[in-house]
Structure formats: C-alpha cells, structure tokens
Chains A and B, each alone.
Chain A
C-alpha cells in the first residue's frame, strides 16, 4: 500500500468520444470536499483552466465531485489536482466509479410523460364535464384515450414492475393495488369509449400516476443523495502491497496477488495488507480501528500481525501468512455478512399497511359487485361500480403517506450532518429499547489537552495543515484553533499521508504535523516520545501537540437522555478494562464490557436480541462492523472504517456524538407524522368508499378526492421541517 499521493490515483480513464475536439479528451472524476458556494466552484474551475493545455475541470456541487478533462494523449491530471489542493480543497479518487442514476432518470422521464398526459386529459375532461355531448363528447373521449393509454403504458411501468415482483414472490406491497387500480381504470375506460358509454376514468388514472411518480421521485432522490455522500466518504486505501523480490528490489503488487510466504515491506503509515509474521525487527502498530485498543502495540519479530493494523514505525518486514481472502479484514467482513443475514426480517410500515389494505379493498369491490347484482343490476353495471370502488379507494394518499414523511425527515437529517441510508431506518430507530456504545472513536475522541502550553502561532500553523485532513487528531487541532479564535495562515502544497500526518508549506516554511518517525525531516531525532503528535517546521524547534483520548463533547448529555427515556446504555469495547472502566465511570454507565473481540461483540448483541431487546448500536471500528449489522438500528461515526460505515444505517458526518439525540427525536417525529398520514388517508377512504359503493362516484369526484387527499398528506409531511 502506498500513501494517497498523486501517483496512486485509481479509477478508469474514459476517452470522451462525444467531444468535437479533434484532439481527443479524456476525463476522470474525483471526490472533492470543502465546496460550499458559487465562489468555490469558480475558484476551482478557473484555477484549472488557468493551467492551459486544454485541461479543464467541472464541479458537480450536488455530488461533491470534480471531473477533470485533459487531452487523452498523455493523460495527466496530476497538475490539475495539485492546483485544486493548493486552493485548500481535499481531492480524492472515488472509491467506485460514479454510476449514473438510471432509476432516477426513468422516474423523471415517466413523470414528464404522465404530467403531460394528466394536463391534457384533464383539459379534455373539463370540457366533457362542462357539458359537451353527442359527437363532441365522443370525439373528446377518443382523444383522451389516445393520449392516456400510451402515456400510461410508458409511465406506469415502475409500479407494474414492482407489483409483479411482489406477486411473484407471493407477497403484497403497495404497488399491487396501485397497478390493479391503474390497469382496471384504463381498461374499463377503453371499453366504455369503444361502446360510446360516456364516463371514463382516464383523467383519474393519469393524475394518480403523476402524483405517485412525484412522491416516488422525491423519496428516491433523497435516498440517492445520502448514498452519494456516503460514497464520497469511502476510504481510498488502494489495494496495494509492497513486495520484496528475491533480488531485494521492491515491487508494488495488488493485495489479491499476495500469497503466503511472500516477503512484504511496510512503510510507516501503511496498513498491513494480509495476516503476516513480523520478520527482523519489532514494529509498532496502531490497532485502534481493528480491535478498539487505544494504545499502540509493539509486535516483536516472529509474532503474527493481523491485516488492517496500521504501522506506526517503519520500514517493517513481513512474511505473508495468508491470502487476502483469509485475512483479518476479510474474516470480519464475512462475520458482518453472516450477522446481516441473521437480522430478523423487518417489515416496513408501508408494506404492513399494504398487506392489510389490499385485501380489504379488493374484497369490498367484490362484495359491492355481488351486492349490486343481487339488488338486480346488470352484470355490466355492477362491474362498473365495483371498478369505481377500486379506483376511488386508490391508494394514492396511502402510498404517499409513508415515503413522503421519510423523505422529508431524511432531508432534514442530511442538512444536519446525518446520512440516513434508507427511510425504513427511521422506523427501526424509533423502536429501539436499548443502546450499546463502542468506546474508542465513538464515546471518546482525541482532543488537545486543555492545559497545553501551546503558543498561538504554533497552533495556527498546525491548524492550517490540519484543515486539510479529516483525521480526528486534525479535527481536534482545528477545533482548538477555532476556540482560540486564531486567524489561520494559508497552507499550500498540502499532502495528506494516511496514518502519518499532513505536510505542506505554511508561512513560507516547510511544515508537517503527525507522528515524528514518519516525517521526512532532520528535526525528527530531537523528538522524545515516539508516539506523540508533533508539529515540525523548517528552522524552528519541534512542538509536541498534546493530544489525549477524552470523552467526546455531548456524550454525557446523550447518555443522560437515553437514561431519561428509561434505557440502560451499555459500553462494549475492545479496549483494556482499566480504560473502559474509567470512561464508564465518567459517563455514569454501569453496564460495560471490556476486551471484547468482534465475534464476542456480535454474540453479546445477539444475546440482547434473543432477550427481546431492540438494540441501537453506535460504533466506528472495524471490530464493530458485525455488531452494527446485527443491531436493530445502528449509527456510525463519519471517520469510521469503511466496514463500519457500510454496515451502519446512519452515518454521522458532523462528528458530534450528541447528534444521535437529534436523530432519535426526528425518528419519533417522523413516526407520529406517518401515523397521522395513515389516519388521514383512512378518513378519506371512509368517506369515499360508501359513495363509491352506493354508485354515486363520478370521475370528477374521483379525480378531486384523490388529488386533495394526496396534497393533504404531502403538506402534513412537511411539518417535520418545522422546529
């Protein structure tokens, strides 16, 4: 593995065939963070354009990406990236190639087509209601049919497809009654048009489709935005290892190709690629993300070191013991997958509603038809009334009731730095009965010691560099500088070396912050503690940055809050007993477990689940991945490992543990609004169904009732934004 320097950019280079330019252009997309406003966009784009040579950049603020275009011949984005970094933005390769949002596009196209059809068919219907008769009515009805039928064939596909999927899996979802209502409305109206019998439901069918598509698009784009942000966070450790060949030369190879017996070399700041044995000299490793231990460990020659540990000293020689697939990280991942499959199938509130609702409506329609036939109506008339019942009770409001609330809630949370992966998470979050915390990195985080005798100048320089990193230590430095209200100088040429620190130019001096062993400077020898964070500046004596692991701000109130709601917070940590006991005592947590290995964490979670508890797990480490996946609901910190982020339901990008309380409040609010919406939809049906059964449902009443109930439900959902 190498550092995240310019040489390790991964991703594919696509020749851009659509460019009219005779000189072929290629483009590559990177994640960029720190963009906020119009100024940022133009700064980045102009800076790259100023480089000349047909190199250009295009920022996408929504996705927080920047696409760099350069001539395909000798494609080189390094100068452009360096220029953007100089401006103070953090540019990283995307962990995965950006995908186009095909579902969103399909919904948008369908929405456009159904919107067009709805407007025009409504126009024609108004003419019919206004009293067009005879030839004119027939003509208008035929035109409606010609617009509505193709439009429905095109734009109702998302519902029909989903309904088919549910039926073939022998379940019911909300799309089943929707698809049936739309299909029946279209077919009945077509028959009536052919027979010249008047009253058709084309308008109801297309408006229904339009409203539902709009609701679905809103829900989808909210989810997509959260997903994009999570992808932007994804870590960028290139899957590479340095292999020492027979002749002593070092070659960079992919981790996948490492076989047991191969000799590997680690520089300080590299992660151990596969489970290995330490050769030669002992090495110091940071295991905090893997096991939760906050103290670094020294592993002597001949001992085994697990994949994922971070080398603090270097170089270290290793002999590979296992393949990548059998290594620690991979084993944890399979543990997580197993935990996920054990998670009880949690049915969503919307599907629950559909499962009750669909049979009731369909039986009502059936009995209506039988009732009318017994009462002496002809088969055709009875069928017409039955279909009217189906259409008028169409689950428009009901289908919107849940997702629209969830979309609004997710949007609010997104703005506050909480990324929610799925709306259903909110339901689970509300239902938790107990809460389990990880310690290292979750309840505790690094902070600059308060009694630090650190002068303002040194802190300002350190913070100027720290701004460019998301590492918790860097955040701590920046927070302290902000607290002291220091004016930060501009750092240029900044480079982050993962696990080592940040280097760059500050006030015309070469400077770096991080672990001293890793910083290429002569001054390093003067630094005593091997494990401390140090600020080095050319020509100035080194300054130790006194960082300590302390309880994060807001953690105590959060735990107090949980206690007030009658939950007993627990800590399950991989750290030593003494450290966990200390933190537990500070926070007043009586239920704690120390020295827990990942499998034990998982077992403890399962014990709780078996005891009937619905556990909320909050963690960040590699060792938490399985436990997060097994929990009823889970929250990960932003600087968590990929695995933890992948298994958690909510990712806190704000980094404030106290935000968990906000998430819980919003989840509860969303639930009460969902229930309100379901009641509103129910009330609408209680009024509409008797009218339809009695045979008084005109297409006009159907269209108005449906639209009004949808608008009421959507408006009610927006109340979550208030307060």
Chain B
C-alpha cells in the first residue's frame, strides 16, 4: 500500500506526459502529412544549404 503512494502518481505522471507530448505534436502539425513524413526519411542529402 505504501509503495502505491509513490508508484501510482509516477505511473499517472508518465501517462499524462505522454498525452501532453502527443497533443503538442499534433498542434505543431507532426501528423499533417503522414505520407510525406514516411518518405522524407529516405532523402539522403542534407538540407538545401549546399545549393545556395
């Protein structure tokens, strides 16, 4: 029982943190383009700076 007093809030805090991160990602548009994100990882060159 005494252990629960620590573990339970810890578990809940971790879960809540996960929800918060998820909602933040959504607001930042991380899930706006799932198809694009899946292929962007295959781009083998660094971003555009060498072209400039």
A357 interfacial contact with B, CB 8 Å:
no
Q: Given the complex, which residues of B lie within 8 Å of A135, measured CB to CB? A: 1
Q: Given the complex, which residues of B lie within 8 Å of A108, measured CB to CB? A: 26, 31
* B19 engages A38 (CB within 8 Å): no
* A109 engages B48 (CB within 8 Å): no
Q: Could you tell me how many residues of chain A have their Cβ less than 8 Å away from some Cβ of chain B?
A: 30
Q: Given the complex, which residues of A lie within 8 Å of B18, measured CB to CB? A: 116
* A41 engages B19 (CB within 8 Å): no
Q: Given the complex, which residues of A lie within 8 Å of B22, measured CB to CB? A: 112
* B36 engages A52 (CB within 8 Å): no
Nearest B residue to A119, CB-CB: B15
* A49 engages B52 (CB within 8 Å): yes
Nearest B residue to A143, CB-CB: B8
A164 interfacial contact with B, CB 8 Å:
no
Interface string of A38-59 (1 = CB under 8 A from B): 1101100110011010000001
| In the bound complex, CA of A62 to CA of B31 (Å) | 10
- Distance in angstroms from A50 CB to nearest chain B CB is 5
Q: Which of A499-518 contact B (CB under 8 A)?
A: none
| In the bound complex, CA of A38 to CA of B37 (Å) | 9
Q: Given the complex, which residues of A lie within 8 Å of B12, measured CB to CB? A: 120, 143, 147
Q: Which of B1-52 contact A (CB under 8 A)?
A: 1, 4, 8, 11-12, 15-16, 18-19, 22-23, 26, 31-36, 39-43, 45, 48, 51-52
* A105 engages B52 (CB within 8 Å): no
Which residue from A41, A52, A119 sits with its C-beta under 8 Å from B40?
A41
Q: Given the complex, which residues of A lie within 8 Å of B42, measured CB to CB? A: 37-38
Total A-B contacts with CB atoms under 8 angstroms apart: 66
Q: Which of A93-109 contact B (CB under 8 A)?
A: 105, 108-109
| In the bound complex, CA of A60 to CA of B42 (Å) | 15
Nearest A residue to B32, CB-CB: A60
Nearest B residue to A147, CB-CB: B12
Listed residue (B26, B33, B41, B42) with the most chain A CB atoms within 10 angstroms of its CB: B33
Q: Given the complex, which residues of B lie within 8 Å of A140, measured CB to CB? A: 4
- Distance in angstroms from B45 CB to nearest chain A CB is 7
- Distance in angstroms from B31 CB to nearest chain A CB is 7
A113 interfacial contact with B, CB 8 Å:
yes
- Distance in angstroms from B3 CB to nearest chain A CB is 11
* A59 engages B19 (CB within 8 Å): no
A363 interfacial contact with B, CB 8 Å:
no
Nearest B residue to A61, CB-CB: B36
* B19 engages A116 (CB within 8 Å): yes
- Distance in angstroms from A464 CB to nearest chain B CB is 26
A139 interfacial contact with B, CB 8 Å:
yes
| In the bound complex, CA of A39 to CA of B31 (Å) | 21
* B33 engages A60 (CB within 8 Å): yes
| In the bound complex, CA of A62 to CA of B1 (Å) | 50
A63 interfacial contact with B, CB 8 Å:
yes
* B11 engages A123 (CB within 8 Å): yes
A470 interfacial contact with B, CB 8 Å:
no
Q: Which of A69-115 contact B (CB under 8 A)?
A: 105, 108-109, 112-113
Q: Given the complex, which residues of A lie within 8 Å of B52, measured CB to CB? A: 49-50, 52
A41 with B43, Cβ < 8 A, contacts A61-B33, A116-B19 known: yes
A136 with B11, Cβ < 8 A, contacts A37-B39, A42-B43, A46-B48 known: no
* A46 engages B32 (CB within 8 Å): no
* B16 engages A116 (CB within 8 Å): yes
Nearest A residue to B17, CB-CB: A116
* B11 engages A109 (CB within 8 Å): no
- Distance in angstroms from A382 CB to nearest chain B CB is 35
* B23 engages A45 (CB within 8 Å): no
* B51 engages A62 (CB within 8 Å): no
| In the bound complex, CA of A52 to CA of B52 (Å) | 7
* A49 engages B33 (CB within 8 Å): no
| In the bound complex, CA of A45 to CA of B33 (Å) | 15
* B15 engages A61 (CB within 8 Å): no
Q: Given the complex, which residues of B lie within 8 Å of A38, measured CB to CB? A: 39-43
A46 with B39, Cβ < 8 A, contacts A120-B11, A135-B1, A136-B4 known: no
Q: Given the complex, which residues of A lie within 8 Å of B23, measured CB to CB? A: 109, 112
A41 with B48, Cβ < 8 A, contacts A120-B11, A136-B4 known: no
| In the bound complex, CA of A188 to CA of B15 (Å) | 26
* B4 engages A41 (CB within 8 Å): no
Q: Given the complex, which residues of A lie within 8 Å of B32, measured CB to CB? A: 60, 62
* B36 engages A59 (CB within 8 Å): yes
Nearest B residue to A115, CB-CB: B19
| In the bound complex, CA of A419 to CA of B26 (Å) | 27
Which residue from A42, A49, A112, A143 sits with its C-beta under 8 Å from B19?
A112
Interface string of A144-175 (1 = CB under 8 A from B): 00010000000000000000000000000000
* A61 engages B39 (CB within 8 Å): yes
- Distance in angstroms from B22 CB to nearest chain A CB is 5
- Distance in angstroms from B33 CB to nearest chain A CB is 4
Nearest B residue to A136, CB-CB: B1
Nearest A residue to B19, CB-CB: A116
* A49 engages B48 (CB within 8 Å): yes
| In the bound complex, CA of A49 to CA of B50 (Å) | 11
| In the bound complex, CA of A679 to CA of B23 (Å) | 37
Nearest A residue to B16, CB-CB: A116
Q: Given the complex, which residues of A lie within 8 Å of B34, measured CB to CB? A: 62
* B45 engages A62 (CB within 8 Å): no
Q: Given the complex, which residues of B lie within 8 Å of A62, measured CB to CB? A: 32-36
Q: Given the complex, which residues of B lie within 8 Å of A119, measured CB to CB? A: 15
* B40 engages A49 (CB within 8 Å): no
Q: Given the complex, which residues of B lie within 8 Å of A120, measured CB to CB? A: 11-12, 15
Nearest A residue to B21, CB-CB: A112
* A109 engages B43 (CB within 8 Å): no
Q: Using CB atoms and an 8 Å cutoff, list the residues of chain B in contact with chain A.
A: 1, 4, 8, 11-12, 15-16, 18-19, 22-23, 26, 31-36, 39-43, 45, 48, 51-52
If A60-B32, A62-B35, A135-B1 are given as contacts, then 9 extra A-B residue pairs at C-beta distance below 8 Å, sorted by A number, are A38-B41, A41-B39, A41-B43, A49-B52, A52-B52, A60-B36, A62-B33, A120-B15, A139-B1
6 CB < 8 A contacts A-B = A38-B40, A61-B36, A61-B39, A112-B22, A112-B26, A116-B18
